[in-house]
Structures are given as C-alpha cells and as structure tokens.
Chains A and B, each alone.
Chain A
C-alpha cells in the first residue's frame, strides 16, 4: 500500500534519482581533471615552498589528482634528501 502511495505521488523511487546520483559522481571525476600546465605550475610552487624547509629530490617529485568513489584527493610523493638546519626558526 505504501508503495502504491509513493508511486501515486511520484516520490523518490523513480529512475530520476539514480540519474542524478550517477551524474553527480561522473562530474566529480570530470571536473577533477586539470590541465598538464596547471599541474606543472602547481609542482613548481610546491617545490618552492617545501624547499624553505627541506632538501627535496625535485626530479622524482610526483603530484597527481587521485579520484576514487565520490572523493578526489591531491596526492604528492616528494622524496626528501635532507632537512635544512634552521628550518623551524624563521
């Protein structure tokens, strides 16, 4: 009976909500794709900031956007060669 009533008033069980949710997810991924140029300039900025504190292996630095499920994360793998002596002081 309840099912009949919800059908009657066109509530939440239609395919529309499935469509909306799928669309939302697919756009999270689509919109997370950034251009190679942007990623490159992000890398350069990161290197500059981190170099104030550590000596890093710039050649092997990796920065990527990782998207899984409904979330997107910025994942950076930055090999550290050494710490700067007075890093914390400034």
Chain B
C-alpha cells in the first residue's frame, strides 16, 4: 500500500511543480513505483517539466468522467519504468473534478504505486481542496520571502484543519550569500516562525532552469547543489536521517579578505 503526498504552497511560482517532478524522479531512480498527479487543471505544467508533453492522450478529467480507464491516462516516463504521470486537463476548469473523485483516484493509485505525489495549484480554492482530498501527508514549499512564508503559514493552518497534520517544509531558492549578508531570511528564521519540520533546502540554482528547459530533472544531475539537495530530500522521504547540507559558499577568512580587496 503506497503513500499519498500532496505538494502545496499557497503562493504561486515558488517551486511546487519543480519539487514534485524532482521528488518523483528521484524516488523512481531508486527503484520505487511512483505516480505523479497534476491537479493544476487549466494550467498544466508538470508534463512539460518532465518532458512528457507530447505523449498525452487522456487526462485526469477524462478519467473521472469515465471517458477512459485510469491505466490509459497514465503516461510512462522516458527514463524510468516505475514513473508515471496523470496529466491535468488543459481546457477545463478546477470544478471539473471533485474532492470525492480525487479521494477515489488516490485510493486506486495507492494500490499499485509506492508513492503518489500530487502537484497542487496555487491558491486556497477548489484546486487546493481537490489536491489535498486524497492525501495522507503534505509537503509545503516556500521561498525566503515575507509573502511566500505568510501564505505557507495560512496553508499549514488549512492543512491542519483538514486533518493533514505535521506537514514538512521545503525552503526553495535560498541564496546563502544573501542570508550571510543579512539580506535574506535564513533557515532558522523561517522554521522558528512556521514551527514545522524541515524536509529540505534547495538553493537558487541555474541548473534548475537549464534542466527544466530540457524537460529533465535536476535530481539526476550529479554536479549541481540543487540536484544534491533533491537527492537528500528523496532519502528523507524514504526515512533516512540526512543532515541539511551546508549551503555556505565556503567563505573562509581569506576568501572574505580577497573579496573585500576586490580579488574574490
């Protein structure tokens, strides 16, 4: 029996889809059977991020309306046999699926997959309610900005009201240099305020843009910090204790001096 995890945030554009794609790909790379569900109906993205946009025939609305069977709508990944995507519909709106239908869908997928990961749309309206309906665990994504953390706080409250307790936090787009300069909230600042457990920290990283452009997942890139960060998150999902990587740009004393006198 698999586990159903919803990835949510409140504020848009903070990295839900990127995180869903990378957690899913990372788990599949370790041999697990994973189903990803895009619930952002009308604004589907996960297919493009995974590079699967050309393979879509049916979507989630077709499944709940009985136009096709669930199996027929699941798209197999290019690389990993265990990874599947259930795409969102692009031409319908969020009311085309109900929370009850989502619950049934998740229950069915759970029988066959080790992990079912749901990419939630931004906002707290029906799309959000659909996305969380069948979930057992929640991951909240935020960035180190006042507006994003505020929305995360609101989402955590709504998740708790829906009995999804103890959500785990991903802080995305952290810039260690700015934190060090005192110009960006750091990990402790955010954790103190939100009072939730940390699932991981993803640094701001060009490789995310580059891999996303290609429809690949940065979690498979062995050289980037963000790839490492997502691999660590995957191991934590699997229950391993992995320390949070030190994202400091190794500003040793001499480097700092060099920087000051303009050589760094």
Contact = CB atoms under 8 A, between A and B. Distances in A.
A23 B146 contact: yes
A17 B193 contact: no
A8 B181 CA distance: 8
Interface string A29-49: 011000000000000000000
A30 B150 contact: yes
A22 interface: yes
Nearest to A24: B193
A26 B180 CA distance: 24
A16 B189 contact: yes
Given A19-B145, A19-B146, A22-B146, A27 B182 contact: no
B182 A30 contact: no
Nearest to B154: A30
Interface size class of B (residues with CB under 8 A): 10 to 19
Contacts of A23: 146, 149-150, 185, 193
A85 interface: no
Most B CB within 10 A of own CB, among A11, A13, A16, A26? A16
A82 interface: no
B41 to A, nearest CB: 28
Given A8-B260, A23-B193, A16 B150 contact: no
A12 interface: yes
Given A30-B153, A30-B154, A12 B189 contact: no
Contacts of A31: 153, 157
B183 A14 contact: yes
B186 A26 contact: no
B179 interface: yes
A80 B162 CA distance: 39
B260 A16 contact: no
Contacts of A24: 193
B181 A19 contact: no
Contacts of B179: 16
A86 interface: no
B207 to A, nearest CB: 26
B184 interface: yes
Q: B179, B182, B184 — which one has the most chain A CB atoms within 10 A of its CB? A: B182
Contact of B181 (A14, A20, A22, A26): A14
B146 A16 contact: no
A24 B149 CA distance: 10
A16 B193 contact: no
Given A16-B186, A19-B145, A10 B181 contact: yes
A34 to B, nearest CB: 11
A19 B182 contact: no
Interface string B121-155: 00000000000000000000000011001100110
Contacts of A30: 150, 153-154
9 contacts: A13-B182, A15-B182, A16-B186, A17-B182, A19-B184, A20-B189, A23-B185, A23-B193, A30-B153
When A and B form their complex, which 4 residue pairs have the shortest distance between CB atoms, in order from nearest?
A14-B182, A14-B183, A10-B182, A23-B146
